[in-house]
Amino acid sequence: MLWVSSTLVALSRMSENRALGIEIEFREVERLLAKAVDNGDQETLEPQISGADRQAVIKRVDHAAAYLRGGRMLWVDDLPRNNIYLKELFRQLGMVVDSATSTGEAMACLDHHKYDLVISDIYRESDPQAGIKMLHEFRTRGISLPVIIHAARFDPTLGVDPMIFGGTNRIDEVVHYVIDVMERVPLRDA
């Protein structure tokens, strides 16, 4: 047990992750997470994440970085500035992150590129159901990608569409959900 504890301390003090050819500074991951939390839209009342939660994300990224590299996501949000640091975190980890501000833009992106997952908000412009309507459009077009909902107004007690892999208003949970999806991509493509 002492060995595990001292190993975790050593990992948390490392300055770079070079596992499997991925190089990203832990400090950079932490900086981007902190900026993502600080940058959250004040209207969304996105909860602060604790230092322990941030460290859990850093450790998870360390172990799963190879799954993220080469992945491609589409982020649909009418306020893209609220996600710039989280998008940059995924880009630093080797993912391609495309943005769309509407369902129409999202469909155009999906017509031209292959994605591993979609992150979307629910409430866009003046439509409180825009994200859900987008899922219906996916279904109509035969698009069956995992969707992560990142929105303050997501209430899973109202029911969850089967296309929704996960829903949250927390930055750290978005990272965990993305890793969860990307760890399954090799299984989905097999």
- Which range is most confident: 26-30, 48-52, 58-62, 144-148? 144-148
| Contact predicate 26/15, CB 8 Å | yes
User: For residue 187, what pLDDT band results from cuts at 50, 70 and 90?
Assistant: low
Instruction: Name which of 27-31, 37-41, 96-100, 110-114 the model is least confident about.
Output: 37-41
User: For residue 25, what pLDDT band results from cuts at 50, 70 and 90?
Assistant: low
pTM for the full predicted model: 0.79
Distance, in Å, from the CA atom of 99 to the CA atom of 119, rounded to the nearest integer, reads 10
Per-residue pLDDT tens for 78-101? 998 889 989 999 998 999 999 999
- Interacting residues of 13 by C-beta distance below 8 A, sequence separation 6+: none
Q: How much is the pLDDT for 47? A: 63
- Interacting residues of 2 by C-beta distance below 8 A, sequence separation 6+: none
CATH class of 2-189: alpha beta
Phi-psi region at 97: left, alpha or beta (left = phi > 0; alpha = psi -120 to 50): beta
Distance, in Å, from the CA atom of 106 to the CA atom of 120, rounded to the nearest integer, reads 10
Domain range list for the chain: 2-189
Q: pLDDT over 70 for what percent of the chain?
A: 74
Residue 14 scores a pLDDT above 90: no
Cross-strand pairs, 120: 76, 149
pLDDT, average across residues 158-168: 84
**If you compute the radius of gyration of the chain from its CA atoms, what whole number of angstroms results?**
17
Per-residue pLDDT tens for 40-51? 544 444 567 787
